[in-house]
Amino acid sequence: MPNRLADPWRILWRAATSQIVVAVLLLLVAVSLMLTTWIPQAPSPEVDYARWFSQVHARFGGATPIMRGVGLFNVTGSFGFRLLLALLSGCLVLQLTEGAAGLWQGDEAAEPEGDWEQLSEGGLDELLDDLRDENYRTVDGSSWCQVDRWPWAELSPLVTRTGALVVLGGLLLSQLWGWQVEGLVIQRGQQLSLPAGSHWVGLDEDGAVLMHSAGAVGFIEREGPGVAVRAVDGEGETLRLQLTAEAEPSTELLVALTEDRYFAVPEADLIVRLRPQSEAPYSPLEVQAYRSPPGEIIADLVTDDGGQTELTMEGVTLELWPAPYVEVTVSRNPGRWTTAVGLILLVGGILTDLRRPGCRFWLREREGWIEAAGRVPLSVFAEEERA
């Protein structure tokens, strides 16, 4: 017996399959996640990392380098957090193995565990009948009776653990091969190439349907005002427009009004400023036109809702019509369906387990007393109290 107790593999197995160890690991993961709510987490390097770092440095001062070294600014990406998840996965795999074996062998009565304790006076047969009515299974042993809820009560923890492992697997796939791009601004008829591979996202010509490449998922975070612009001269010739100094001139511009925007009509020496009156997609716009040089204002008006207007000045007609923009988040997650299946299994398993928690205990009759061993559910105590 002492040799069996001292067997390190047995101790390790018992620790790894213990509910308390899993509970402690879950608590450590919870603490790590709570840290992310208190300590600002680093954005991806291309998203204004320098500004974020200066803000963090102002808040934490000299402790910033130490905190960065420990990985507190990237908790979920840190070695410690991943180690916790790996340990949790390992424990779940071992518990799953043990649970599957228990389910397989649960058909037969097992040896009683723990000490026998007096439960109540009375007839064992009546109590067993009541327990059977409550969907307990009873298996006769040599001098005792095993009571449990095999196989369903053993199945729900297995489903829960399988679900948890599948969720962790899905999150790993997402971490390894998934990506997400935030804050993409597009207008109708536009199609943007994404940095990752051959993926793209776009809006149809009506601006109503968000389209994307297969495997990607697009989500419209918000909509805002925007216009399409065209300019013609007095002879009906279309003039070319330029949004920035580096941009190629074109005969029709799409302008997303995330802020005040300017564009030039180089052939007519005009600069036009567009200022939305609100952030609503069909907001009225203030349109100001300047002669360049010398920069004098030659037109200033506020349009109707959506920016629809036609403005003529010095022989040039500007036509504006609404083209609201959408700000989109696009992601690709190879573990999407894996995670979804895992979540369904996990939630289903937990709810089933909560409704019918697994239990196994043993009952026997000795000198007019009912004795019990194992984990007797409180409902059985209550029933005996009522009796």
Partner 1 sequence: MSALQVLIGLGYVTLVTGVGIALWSGLRDMPRLSRVADVAAWTAAIILVLGVLLAWGSELPALDWLVPFIGEPEIEGPGLSLVLMAALAIPVGGRRRKPHWGRALLYVPALLLAAAAMTWLLGPNGGTANSESITPLRFSLAVCAGLGARTWGQALQEMAAGTQKATWSGRLPYSLLTLVVGCAALVSLWQRGMVWTGVDPVVRGGIAAAWLAWTADWLARNADPRLRGTLTTVAVLLLILVAARGG
Q: How many CA atoms lie within 13 A of 361 on its CB side?
A: 24
Per CB under 8 A, 201 contacts partner 1: no
- For the chain, the distance separating the N- and C-terminal CA atoms, rounded to the nearest angstrom, is 42
Instruction: Return all residues near 104 (Cβ < 8 A) that are at least 6 apart.
Output: none
Per CB under 8 A, 254 contacts partner 1: no
Task: Kindly tell me which of 104 and 381 has the beta carbon lying closer to partner 1.
Answer: 381
Instruction: Return all residues near 25 (Cβ < 8 A) that are at least 6 apart.
Output: 84, 87, 88, 91
For partner 1, the binding residue among 13, 16, 17, 41 (CB under 8 A) is 41
For partner 1, the binding residue among 217, 228, 232, 280 (CB under 8 A) is 217
Task: Kindly tell me which of 20 and 245 has the beta carbon lying closer to partner 1.
Answer: 20
Backbone angles phi, psi at 245, to 5 degrees: -60, -35
Q: How many residues bind partner 1 (CB under 8 A)?
A: 40
Task: Kindly tell me which of 120 and 309 has the beta carbon lying closer to partner 1.
Answer: 120
DSSP string, 13-41: HHHHT-HHHHHHHHHHHHHHHHHHHHSPP
Stretch 1-30 residues interacting with partner 1 (CB under 8 A): 19-20, 22-24, 26-27, 29-30
CB atoms near residue 131 (< 10 Å): 22
Window contacting partner 1 (CB under 8 A); options: 100-108, 147-155, 213-221, 241-249: 213-221
Task: Kindly tell me which of 93 and 298 has the beta carbon lying closer to partner 1.
Answer: 93
For partner 1, the binding residue among 221, 252, 279, 310 (CB under 8 A) is 221
Per CB under 8 A, 72 contacts partner 1: no
Rounded-to-integer distance, Cα 300 and Cα 21, Å: 71
Task: Kindly tell me which of 34 and 67 has the beta carbon lying closer to partner 1.
Answer: 34
The backbone region for 136, taken as left when phi is positive above 0, alpha when psi lies in -120 to 50, beta otherwise, is: beta
Task: Kindly tell me which of 141 and 348 has the beta carbon lying closer to partner 1.
Answer: 348
CB atoms near residue 108 (< 10 Å): 9
Report the nearest approach of partner 1 to the CB of residue 381 (Å).
Answer: 9
Task: Say if CB 184 and CB 199 are below 8 A apart.
Answer: no
Instruction: Return all residues near 54 (Cβ < 8 A) that are at least 6 apart.
Output: none
Task: Kindly tell me which of 246 and 385 has the beta carbon lying closer to partner 1.
Answer: 385
Residue 236 in 3-state DSSP? coil
Stretch 312-341 residues interacting with partner 1 (CB under 8 A): 329, 331-333, 336, 339-340
Task: Kindly tell me which of 19 and 55 has the beta carbon lying closer to partner 1.
Answer: 19
Q: How long a stretch of residues is the chain?
A: 387
Per CB under 8 A, 86 contacts partner 1: no
Residue 375 in 3-state DSSP? coil
Stretch 266-305 residues interacting with partner 1 (CB under 8 A): none
Stretch 337-366 residues interacting with partner 1 (CB under 8 A): 339-340, 343-344, 346-347, 350-351, 354
For partner 1, the binding residue among 78, 89, 180, 309 (CB under 8 A) is 180
Which of these, 376, 356, 366, 358, lies nearest to 114 by C-alpha position? Answer: 376
**Residues binding partner 1 (CB under 8 A):** 19-20, 22-24, 26-27, 29-31, 33-37, 41, 171, 174, 178, 180, 216-217, 219, 221, 329, 331-333, 336, 339-340, 343-344, 346-347, 350-351, 354, 375, 378
